[in-house]
Amino acid sequence: MKQQSKLLYWPAGAMEFCWLYAWAYFLGLVLFKKPVPFPEAALTFALAGLIVHFSTNKGWRVWQVWGLHIVGFSLAGIRLFYGYGSASGFFFDYHWFTEWLQKPKGGPDIGICLFVLFWVFLFWWGGVRLRQRLLTQQKIKTRLDVGLAAFFLLFLVKFIAAAKGTVLPVEPVSLALVFPFLFLGFAMAGLAQNRQATQKDFLPGYRGQGALIGFVLIFFILIIGVMTFSYPYLLLSAERGYDLVRTAARSAGPVLAAILRFMIIGRGHGSAPAEAPQEMPSLALQTPSAESSGWIKVLEDALLWGLWGLLGLMFIMVLVFIARHWLLPWFMRLLARTALQPDERPARKRLSRWAVLLEFLLLQLKRLTDWAKGYARAAQVYGALLRWGRLSGSARIGTETPREYGLRLGQRFPKLGKDITAIIEAFHKEVYAETGLNEQEWFAVRQAWRRLCSPLQWPLRIKGWVWLSSRSELQAKEEF
Q: Express each pLDDT in 148-192 by its tens digit.
A: 888 889 888 888 888 888 778 777 788 888 888 887 777 777 666
**36 secondary structure, DSSP code:** P
Q: Report the range of poorest mean pLDDT among 24-33, 149-158, 351-360, 389-398.
A: 351-360
Q: Report the range of poorest mean pLDDT among 216-225, 252-261, 454-463.
A: 216-225
Per DSSP, the residues of 220-274 read HHHHHHHHHHTHHHHHHHHHHHHHHHHHHHHHHHHHHHHHHHHHHH-STT-PPPP
CB atoms within 10 A of CB 12: 23
Statement: residue 292 has pLDDT above 70: no
Q: Taking residues 121-149, report their average pLDDT.
A: 84
Amino acid at position 292, single letter: S
Biggest CA pair distance of the chain: 121
Give the per-residue pLDDT at 476.
Answer: 39
Q: Where are the beta strands (DSSP E) in 370-411?
A: none
Give the per-residue pLDDT at 442.
Answer: 82
Give the per-residue pLDDT at 87.
Answer: 58
Amino acid at position 322, single letter: I
Nearest residue to 234 via CA among 248, 245, 218, 223? 223
Domain boundaries, the chain: 3-197+210-229, 375-480
CB atoms within 10 A of CB 247: 11
CB atoms within 10 A of CB 228: 13
- Helices 38-55 and 107-132 pack at an angle, to 10 degrees, of 40
- Hey, which of 167-171, 238-242, 383-387 has the most confident mean pLDDT? 383-387
Q: Report the range of poorest mean pLDDT among 152-161, 254-263, 292-301, 428-437.
A: 292-301
Give the per-residue pLDDT at 88.
Answer: 59
Does residue 309 sit in helix, strand or coil? helix
Nearest residue to 147 via CA among 121, 174, 173, 172? 174
At residue 8, φ and ψ (nearest 5 deg) are -75, -15
CA-based torsion, 252, 254, 257, 262: positive or negative: negative
Question: Measured between alpha carbons, how far is 130 from 237 in angstroms, rounded to an integer?
Answer: 42
Statement: residue 392 has pLDDT above 60: yes
Give the per-residue pLDDT at 1.
Answer: 42
* Alpha-helical regions (H) of 56-136: 62-84, 95-102, 107-132
Reported as a pLDDT band with limits 50, 70 and 90, residue 280 is very low
Q: Which is more confident, 86 or 265?
A: 265
Nearest residue to 326 via CA among 359, 365, 375, 383? 365
pTM, full prediction: 0.43
Give the per-residue pLDDT at 450.
Answer: 82
Amino acid at position 318, single letter: V
Question: Measured between alpha carbons, how far is 87 from 96 in angstroms, rounded to an integer?
Answer: 6
CA-based torsion, 449, 454, 459, 460: positive or negative: negative
Question: Measured between alpha carbons, how far is 320 from 453 in angstroms, rounded to an integer?
Answer: 12
Question: Measured between alpha carbons, how far is 101 from 97 in angstroms, rounded to an integer?
Answer: 6
Say if CB 79 and CB 43 are below 8 A apart: yes
Say if CB 116 and CB 85 are below 8 A apart: yes
How far does CA 440 lie from the centroid of its chain? 21
Reported as a pLDDT band with limits 50, 70 and 90, residue 475 is very low
112 φψ region: left (φ > 0), alpha (ψ -120 to 50), beta (else): alpha
**167 secondary structure, DSSP code:** -
Which tens digits make up the pLDDT trace of 394-448? 788 878 888 888 888 888 888 888 888 888 888 888 887 777 778 888 888 888 8
Statement: residue 232 has pLDDT above 70: no
Give the per-residue pLDDT at 333.
Answer: 60
